Amino acid sequence: MIHPKALLDLLYEQEIEFFTGVPDSQLREFCDYLTQTLGISNQHIVAPNEGNAVALAAGYHLATGKIGMVYMQNSGLGNAVNPMTSLVDPKVYAIPLVYMIGWRGMPGIHDEPQHVKQGEITIDLLNLLGIHSILLSKESTIEEVATSFQQTLLPALKEGKSVAFVVKKGAFESVTKYHHKVSSTLSRERAIELILQNTEEQDAIVSTTGKISREVYEQREFHQQGHNKDFLTVGAMGHSSMIALQIAEQKPQRRIWSLDGDGAMLMHTGALALIGSRQPSNFIHVLLNNYVHESVGSIPTVAESINFLEIAKACGYQAVYQVQDEATLIQTIQHIKTELGPILIQVNVSNGSREDLGRPKTSPIQNKTDFMQFLKGSR
């Protein structure tokens, strides 16, 4: 195992002192240590998406001549491939970067369905991208990592190529957990429970990636309601509101609830502009805002420094609401029953979740089949 400090020291020796990315649970110790040591600063920026992080590190290099590090879960490679191939690649600007990539869905290790394909192709994809990588695992020592870094990664960086640390589960020693304080006392799961219990028979739910979808699933189990009204966007972070938008347009007689997180909404904020421009009157966007990427730790998003309500209004949403207690949430849900969308309800929720939160037991295909059957019922 490697202590995050030892790895950071190794990077500092090479003057790698700029860090940006989107957090991952498999990189939790590293991200926590980084945030504790550097805060959110001009040395450490949490990017809206992984492609943005690559571009930030490219800008850093242009301005300083130095190399930056981009951290991400391997699912973020999808967001990053475009700037990796058409910006920093040696065939374009040859801007060297060091990636740190959490390897979910590693073949041979059980993981959730959304990680399986990406896990299978991660190493091949890095090879295709021409990125030299070294594996960090439970068995790794910092001495070995330092040697491989010197022997294989450093020469590639000097040629303008990018390199990667690919991180298996348990590679990092534990550190003090970073916790970002949020003032709300309403839990995200309770807010989800209240929403699900106050929707109408024909309403459909599309929930975002991470614990929001897990909590939707658990609340349906708890209330013995079945899962056919909910589409759980288990992967494709940041895209669930677009799934919801098209369902709303194709099923105008139903109300469609898009349950989003602040991290997900920031990842692809252009979605708000499209929702506003399409004007679906049956679309209710719920932002469960805890100001952090809670599903993978407690690293903050930039949600605290922006106003989602104003953004939604400017994009053309018909009405926007902000709530932070149970009574107001219920009142708002009742109130909007006669209102036309698109509507945004920002629910300020606390930062945290149940230790024993489960994972969906139905497969994604089963979820899709049941949900489509439910939607068939009426327009």
Ligand X SMILES: Cc1ncc(C[n+]2csc(CCOP(=O)(O)OP(=O)(O)O)c2C)c(N)n1
**In angstroms, what CA-CA distances link 200 with 153, 229, 248, 341, 377?**
57, 11, 15, 16, 14
Q: How far is the CB of 119 from ligand X (least distance, A)?
A: 12
- Binders of ligand X among residues 147 to 176 (CB under 6 A) are none
Does residue 68 contact residue 97 with C-beta atoms inside 8 Å?
Answer: yes
Pick the closest to residue 208 from 275, 294, 317 (CA basis).
Answer: 294
Q: How many of the chain's residues bind ligand X (CB under 6 A)?
A: 26
Residue with tokens 């903050």: 300
Residue 294 as a binder of ligand X (CB under 6 A): the answer is: yes
Exposed e or buried b per residue across 306-328, where buried means at least 16 C-beta atoms within 10 angstroms of its C-beta:
eebbebbeebebbbbbbbbeeeb
Output the smallest distance, CB 176 to ligand X, in A: 20
Residues 36-75 that bind ligand X (CB under 6 A): 73, 75
Give the number of other Cβ atoms within 10 Å of residue 203's Cβ: 16
Distance separating alpha carbons of residues 144 and 10, to the nearest angstrom? 12
268 binds ligand X (CB under 6 A): no
We find the least distance from the C-beta atom of residue 345 to ligand X, in angstroms, to be 15
Reduce the DSSP state of residue 327 to 3 states and report it.
helix
What does 226-251 look like in DSSP terms, one character per residue? -STTEEE--SSTT-HHHHHHHHHHH-
Taking each continuous run of H as one helix and of E as one strand, the counts in the chain are: 15, 12
C-beta of 118 vs 148, nearer to ligand X? 118
> Which C-beta is closer to ligand X: that of 301 or that of 346?
301
Query: By CB under 6 A, is residue 8 in contact with ligand X?
Result: no
Q: Is 98 exposed, middle or buried (0-12, 13-18, 19+ CB in 10 A)?
A: buried
Find the shortest distance in angstroms from Cβ 209 to ligand X.
5
**Which residue sits closest to ligand X, CB atoms considered?**
261
Residue 22 binding ligand X, by CB under 6 A:
yes
Q: Confirm or reject binding of residue 290 to ligand X (CB under 6 A).
A: yes
**Is residue 360 part of the contact set for ligand X (CB under 6 A)?**
no
Interface mask (CB under 6 A) for ligand X, residues 176-195, using x and -? Answer: ------------x-------
Smallest distance from the beta carbon of 103 to ligand X, in angstroms?
13
Q: Nearer to ligand X by C-beta: 241 or 290?
A: 290
Task: Select 192 or 375, whichever has its Cβ closest to ligand X.
Answer: 192
Query: Can the peptide bond before residue 342 be classed as cis, meaning omega within 30 degrees of 0?
Result: yes
- Between residues 71 and 149, which has the closer beta carbon with respect to ligand X? 71
Say if CB 149 and CB 10 are below 8 A apart.
Answer: yes
d(CA 81, CA 20): 16
Q: Which of residues 186-245 bind ligand X (CB under 6 A)?
A: 188, 208-212, 237
Q: Residue 252 CB, nearest distance to ligand X (Å)?
A: 28
> Which residues sit at the interface with ligand X, rule CB under 6 A?
22-24, 73, 75-76, 79, 188, 208-212, 237, 261-264, 288, 290, 292-296, 301
